[in-house]
């Protein structure tokens, strides 16, 4: 147990996948006996998604429609609207395995650690312990440090979608604030690993990734060669 107990808000940005609401809730509930809160971040006008969340009796916030940066904006908004000491950057295509939160929180007993990577059972870099697509983040780390050029934010909102996790992890590594929890298994049910059918959002990833990669290359000097200030 960490000081004052361990409380985590699992933030799940959603968009046009109402069929994933109930499986996500059931998975998290079954695998997470520790104190936690689930918060869906919805988009205004995405009526089927909002209805599915409401029908399931889950908590949600609704923000204005966004294009590029939707995922990052939703996570950053959730940070401002919550108070739990730990935030998990979730998604609706995840399957939580028992013990995932406890294993991640063990790494947080080191006060220098601000970002803990989880094991998604898919991404090759994750399987080598070098990266994390979905991470547990310490609130005070974000408030005091956050982005290399913008404290108070978990993710840079200029990426279309992909590469927000790369910047989060690499910046934390440079600061000596990253750890990987092998036993924290949060399985990514992604078509790339043959674990889900594709859809319009997945199909658009190749264009997003090309644009995101270009943005990442433009920004990585910020944490690789930080200003002395």
Output the six-digit token pair for 90. 């979730």
pLDDT bucket at 47, cuts 50 / 70 / 90: very high
pLDDT bucket at 4, cuts 50 / 70 / 90: very low
Per-residue model confidence (pLDDT) at position 204: 79
pLDDT bucket at 228, cuts 50 / 70 / 90: low
**189-210 residue pLDDT tens:** 988 878 878 878 877 788 889 9
Per-residue model confidence (pLDDT) at position 203: 79
At a CB cut-off of 8 Å and minimum separation 6, what does 7 contact?
35, 36, 37, 84, 85, 86
Q: Does residue 2 register a pLDDT over 80? A: no
Q: Does residue 220 register a pLDDT over 80? A: yes
Return the CATH fold of 8-221: Spore Coat Polysaccharide Biosynthesis Protein SpsA; Chain A (3.90.550)
- Give residue limits of the domains in the chain: 8-221
Instruction: Please tell me the distance from the alpha carbon of residue 2 to that of residue 194, in angstroms, as a whole number.
Output: 37
**177-186 residue pLDDT tens:** 999 999 999 9
Per cent of the chain over pLDDT 90 is 84
Q: Does residue 8 register a pLDDT over 90? A: yes
| C-alpha pair distances (Å), 134 with each of 44, 126, 181, 210, 225 | 24, 10, 12, 20, 25
Instruction: Please tell me the distance from the alpha carbon of residue 10 to that of residue 62, in angstroms, as a whole number.
Output: 16
**55-66 residue pLDDT tens:** 999 999 999 988
Per-residue model confidence (pLDDT) at position 229: 56
Output the six-digit token pair for 193. 């690993």
Q: Which residue has the higher pLDDT, 100 or 65?
A: 100
Instruction: Please tell me the distance from the alpha carbon of residue 45 to that of residue 96, in angstroms, as a whole number.
Output: 29
């Amino acid at each position: 147990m960490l000081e004052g107990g361990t409380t985590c808000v699992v933030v799940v940005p959603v968009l046009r996948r109402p069929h994933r609401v109930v499986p996500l809730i059931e998975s998290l509930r079954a695998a997470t006996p520790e104190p936690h809160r689930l918060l869906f971040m919805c988009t205004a006008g995405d009526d089927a998604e909002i209805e599915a969340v409401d029908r399931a009796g889950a908590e949600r916030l609704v923000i204005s429609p966004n294009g590029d940066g939707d995922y990052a904006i939703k996570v950053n908004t959730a940070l401002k609207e919550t108070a739990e000491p730990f935030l998990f950057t979730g998604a609706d295509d995840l399957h939580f395995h028992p013990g995932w939160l406890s294993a991640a929180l063990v790494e947080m007993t080191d006060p220098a650690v601000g970002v803990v990577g989880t094991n998604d059972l898919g991404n090759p870099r994750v399987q080598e312990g070098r990266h994390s697509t979905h991470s547990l983040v310490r609130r005070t780390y974000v408030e005091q440090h956050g982005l290399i050029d913008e404290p108070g934010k978990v993710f840079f909102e200029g990426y279309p979608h992909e590469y927000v996790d790369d910047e989060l992890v690499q910046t934390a590594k440079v600061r000596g604030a990253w750890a990987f929890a092998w036993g924290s298994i949060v399985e990514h049910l992604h078509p790339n690993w043959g674990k889900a059918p594709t859809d319009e959002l997945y199909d658009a990833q190749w264009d997003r990734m090309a644009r995101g990669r270009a943005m990442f290359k433009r920004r990585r000097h910020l944490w690789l060669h930080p200003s002395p200030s």
